[in-house]
């Protein structure tokens, strides 16, 4: 087992040195395309997918999947890979590796995505689901993941049994590349993550370790700063910034890191036991 | 085509529920719609925060590949959740950040190897506590758009999501459940001891103005570290330590790793004269 792990560790290093490929973004238009979904008894949902005009195949759409996965049989059939990758159990995956590919044309319903990244892999869970329902509705060939659906504003409606896709110009990047690069920064993983507010707010908060109530307490409000202009006062308990909970100093900084200078946002505070809604517009600064 | 070694367990958060009794659909109706703040983790999972029975917030992944809400035993214990003999519990209050409350949300309590593995290696860049699956997701029409900073959730008033039917004995099968332990071992071998704490950068209190010829102090907050250190409105920021500053992004870079209490040497140009100022960064934002 140790040997496998070592191979695995080397694998990480090897991949981290590969160059990212540019993946073109689909052309933007305003048309939203509706794709019907089939809800499995297990309540995963399936969409029909054509791969390089082959198919349609049935794939599970999974918002929890960072990768699109296609089983080796279908990948071969659709000419996505020259050899069958993946294969079998855990050791096969660890030692054998998995083929990372690019699907020239991936069509989910009437939605076409070009050069979408995927991996060829026989995922045991997909196989188990496929086996369970194959008799009634046919086999399942894999999972549609982040590299596909992130390119769209995607609306999932279980009531109408449909998913709506509208291109949004988002670039998913190269998942494996990003992940491996991030895993190489072990020293940074072992240290607290340093976060900066995106703009200048002009206040400071504090929270005692023993204080586990919601919110953080305002300790300082700098005169003429954005917070002072928005009406924030010392002693206020800040509950949310732009809808994000601020239950710790870290939460407060993260919320502020996500708000661009010049954007007016709602800040909910508790003042003398009453809920007060403020609007604060951070400025350009640090 | 490239050959890569993949963390199999991470490929997808895809689960099957083990056998269990029908999941009763909640009858109480939560708020109609909300904008739900989210973040993408380093592993490209959609993270939303949830308070469980008033405690938390906890970090959850939105996962249409999961049939239900899953939380680990540790969290169930922490919030004092009562479980039935099949390993299910029901929250009194399941509050999603952004203002949604799901009544009587049921959860499966199980230590998911995917989450354990990711947490052991610190892969997501944030600690993951659980998964939100079908039994909650199906009650809403949800729009995911990663060019926006919120997800749109609309409650489906007249919809009772069909119950989940279990598959066989359940579990993830195929030896995948070993992955959690394998990844924890890996983490040990690689020297990863993930730290999920947040360290705010030091506070300056300087509002700036980006001009063609450089970065200027537009105003300085009274009593802030910039003020105490002697920066005045109109100063041109020339350098911080040894880094020359041409624009706001240079300044942000120079301050990116600076902590509360760090002293930084600023060179500013005032009345055609260079001045060196020492500024001790403080607390604030």
Give the domain ranges of chain B.
8-190, 206-280
Residue A175: its pLDDT value, please?
Answer: 76
Are residues A120 and A38 part of one domain?
A: yes
Work out how many domains chain A is built from and give that number.
2
Mean pLDDT score, A84-109 = 63
Q: Going by DSSP bridges, is the β-strand pair B263-270/B273-280 parallel, antiparallel, or unpaired?
A: antiparallel
Residue A266 lies in a domain: yes
Considering only CB atoms, A132 lies closest to which of B36, B158, B168, namely B168
Give this complex's ipTM: 0.85
What is the pLDDT at residue B26? Answer: 47
Does A230 reside within a domain? yes
Q: Are residues A139 and A216 in the same domain?
A: no
Q: List the structure tokens of B270.
A: 């005032």
The whole domain housing A257 covers: 203-280
Residues of A in contact with B42 (CB under 8 A): 178-179, 182
The answer on A99 and A232 residing in a single domain is no
Other beta carbons within 10 angstroms of residue A73's beta carbon come to: 15
Contact (CB<8Å) A63/B62: yes
Query: Is CATH 3.40.50.2020 correct for B8-190?
Result: no
- Residue B62 β-bridge partners: B132
Q: Are residues A37 and A108 in the same domain?
A: yes
Q: Give the residue on A whose Cα is nearest the Cα of B227.
A: A222
Q: Could A100 and B145 be called an inter-chain contact, meaning their C-beta atoms sit closer than 8 Å?
A: no
Q: A208 and A151, same structural domain?
A: no
Answer yes or no: do A156 and A68 share one domain: yes
Closest CA to B3 of A245, A93, A196: A93
Is A223 a domain residue? yes
Q: With an 8 Å Cβ cutoff, are A66 and B11 in contact? A: yes
- Answer yes or no: do A129 and A33 share one domain: yes
Q: Is residue A184 part of a domain?
A: no
Q: Is A10 inside a domain boundary?
A: no
In this structure, the answer to whether residues A50 and A143 fall within a common structural domain is yes
In chain B, whose CA is at the least distance from the CA of A227? Answer: B285
pLDDT in tens, chain B (285 residues): 333 333 333 445 666 655 444 444 444 555 588 999 999 998 899 999 999 999 989 999 999 988 899 999 999 999 999 999 888 999 999 999 999 999 889 999 988 888 888 898 888 889 999 999 999 999 999 999 999 999 999 999 889 888 887 765 444 445 566 667 777 777 777 788 888 889 899 999 999 999 999 999 999 999 999 999 999 999 999 999 999 999 999 999 999 889 999 999 999 999 999 999 999 999 999
Specify the CATH class of B206-280 in words. Answer: mainly beta
Q: What six digits make up the tokens of A55?
A: 């198919």
Residue A169 shares a structural domain with residue A51: yes
pLDDT number for residue B179: 66
pTM for the model: 0.85
**Which of A42, A142, A181, A255 to probe by mutation at the B interface, max B CB count within 10 Å?**
A42
Write out residues 23-52 of B within 8 Å (CB-CB) of A. 35-37, 39, 42-46, 49, 51
Of A173, A194, A228, which closes a domain?
A: A173
Is A262 part of a structural domain of the chain? yes
Cβ-based contacts of A192 with chain B (< 8 Å): 195, 197-199
pLDDT, mean over chain A: 84
User: Helices B179-190 and A2-16 meet at what angle, rounded to 10?
Assistant: 70
Let me know whether A124 and A27 are in one domain. Answer: yes
Mutate one of B134, B166, B284 to test the A interface: name it (highest A CB count within 10 A): B284
State the Cα–Cα distance between residues B22 and B25, nearest whole angstrom. Answer: 9
Q: Which residues contact B248 (CB under 8 A, 6 or more apart)?
A: A284, B208, B210, B215
Give me the residue from A63, A159, A244 closest to B64, CB to CB.
A63
Substitution target in A10, A19, A44 with the highest count of B β-carbons within 10 Å is A44
A179 within domain boundaries: no
SS3 B71: strand
What is the Cα–Cα distance from A222 to A202, expressed in whole angstroms?
5
Identify the CATH number of the domain in which residue A224 sits. 2.30.42.10
Determine contact, residues A244/B97, Cβ cutoff 8 Å.
yes
- Provide the angle, in degrees to the nearest 10, between the axes of the packed helices B179-190 and B113-121: 10
In a domain, A182, yes or no: no
CA distance A196 to B256: 7
Instruction: Please report, for the domain that includes residue A166, its CATH number.
Output: 2.40.70.10
Region A255-275: mean pLDDT is 96
């Amino acid at each position: 087992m140790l040997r496998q792990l070592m191979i695995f560790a080397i694998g990480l290093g090897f991949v981290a040195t590969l160059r990212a490929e540019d993946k073109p973004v689909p052309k933007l238009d305003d048309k939203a395309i509706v794709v019907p979904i089939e809800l499995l008894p297990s309540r995963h949902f399936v969409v029909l997918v054509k791969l390089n005009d082959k198919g349609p195949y049935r794939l599970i759409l999974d918002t929890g999947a960072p990768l699109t996965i296609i089983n080796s049989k279908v990948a071969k059939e659709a000419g996505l890979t020259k050899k069958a990758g993946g294969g079998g159990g855990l050791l096969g995956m660890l030692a054998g590796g998995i083929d990372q590919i690019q699907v020239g044309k991936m069509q989910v319903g009437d939605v076409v995505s070009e050069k979408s990244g995927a991996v060829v892999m026989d995922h045991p869970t997909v196989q188990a689901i496929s086996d369970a329902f194959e008799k009634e509705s046919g086999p399942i060939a894999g999972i549609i993941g982040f590299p596909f659906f992130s390119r769209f504003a995607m609306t999932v409606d279980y009531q109408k049994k449909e998913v709506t896709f509208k291109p949004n110009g988002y670039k998913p990047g190269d998942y494996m590349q990003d992940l491996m690069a991030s895993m190489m920064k072990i020293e940074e993983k072992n240290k607290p993550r340093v976060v900066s507010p995106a703009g200048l707010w002009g206040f400071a908060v504090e929270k005692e370790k023993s204080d586990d109530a919601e919110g953080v307490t305002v300790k300082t409000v700098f005169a003429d700063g954005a917070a002072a202009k928005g009406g924030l006062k010392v002693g206020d308990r800040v509950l949310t910034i732009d809808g994000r909970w601020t239950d710790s100093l870290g939460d407060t900084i993260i919320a502020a890191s996500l708000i661009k200078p010049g954007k007016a946002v709602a800040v909910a505070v508790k003042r003398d036991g009453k809920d007060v809604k403020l609007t604060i517009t951070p400025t350009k600064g640090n | 085509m490239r050959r890569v070694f993949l963390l199999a367990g991470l490929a997808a958060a895809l689960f099957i529920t083990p056998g269990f009794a029908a999941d009763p659909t909640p009858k109480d109706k939560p708020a109609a719609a909300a904008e739900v703040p989210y973040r993408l983790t380093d592993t490209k999972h959609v993270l939303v925060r949830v308070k469980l029975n008033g405690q938390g917030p906890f970090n959850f992944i939105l996962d249409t590949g999961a049939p239900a809400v899953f939380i680990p035993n540790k969290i169930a214990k922490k919030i004092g959740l009562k479980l039935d003999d099949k390993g299910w519990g029901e929250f009194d209050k399941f509050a999603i950040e952004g203002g949604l409350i799901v009544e009587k949300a049921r959860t499966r309590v199980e230590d998911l190897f995917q989450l354990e593995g990711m947490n052991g290696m610190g892969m997501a860049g944030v600690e993951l506590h659980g998964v939100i699956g079908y039994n909650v997701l199906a009650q809403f029409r949800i729009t995911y758009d990663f060019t926006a900073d919120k997800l749109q959730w609309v409650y489906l008033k007249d919809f009772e999501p069909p119950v989940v039917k279990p598959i066989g004995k359940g579990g993830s099968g195929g030896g995948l459940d070993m992955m959690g332990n394998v990844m924890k071992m890996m983490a040990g071998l690689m020297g990863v001891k993930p730290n999920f704490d947040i360290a705010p950068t030091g506070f300056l209190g300087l509002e700036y103005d980006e001009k063609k010829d450089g970065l200027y102090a537009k105003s300085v907050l009274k009593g802030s570290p910039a003020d105490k250190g002697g920066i005045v409105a109109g100063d041109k920021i020339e350098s911080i330590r040894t880094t020359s500053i041409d624009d706001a992004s240079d300044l942000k870079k120079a301050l990116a790793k600076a902590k509360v209490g760090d002293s930084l040497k600023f060179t500013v140009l005032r009345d055609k004269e260079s001045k060196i100022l020492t500024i001790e960064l403080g607390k604030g934002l």
